[in-house]
Structure 1
């Protein structure tokens, strides 16, 4: 798996990031069955910190991009 935090913005006790991922899921991922294909997608994630630790996370993943990539490749034999 490879990920790249492209955009990070911090204010107070919050951090927002746009993270690009490249991975090959080995098991069910976002309710999709893996087919052996390497996937590329973005996640927008927001972290809130309390006492130096992550206290809350809100995440938005581009599920449509994942679904399209799995459809285009079809099953790997």
Structure 2
């Protein structure tokens, strides 16, 4: 399956999970870095990554590390738990999802 670029993928996710919410769980500040651990959740209401809408509540963990210089973000590294998300989208309704961080 071909992966869309980051901007297109964000748009696809917003259409698929229009009620999504992001909770910033932790902030860790270092010399020139800020790490932010997030939990994204919402209802899978539209097609995403080849999965038709399931109507399920989904939860995905993300991590952002921002490099800061002169009070501005100059670089960002972003990680997402797509394995956990894909397990949630493909699991039968009501099934426990091994490895998901729900």
Q: Deviation at 1:34?
A: 4.9
- Paired with 1:28 and 1:49, the residues of 2 have a C-alpha distance of 36
In structure 2, runs of 5+ residues without a counterpart are 1-19, 94-102
- Paired with 1:28 and 1:58, the residues of 2 have a C-alpha distance of 26
In structure 1, runs of 5+ residues without a counterpart are none
CA contact (8 A) 1:20 1:41 kept: yes
TM-score normalised by the chain length of structure 2: 0.58
If asked which structure has higher relative contact order (CA below 8 Å, sep 6+), I would say: 1
CA contact (8 A) 1:37 1:73 kept: no
Structure showing the higher helix proportion among its residues: 2
Structure showing the higher strand proportion among its residues: 1
Question: Cα RMSD (Å) of the superposition?
Answer: 2.3
Q: How many residues align?
A: 73
TM-score normalised by the chain length of structure 1: 0.73
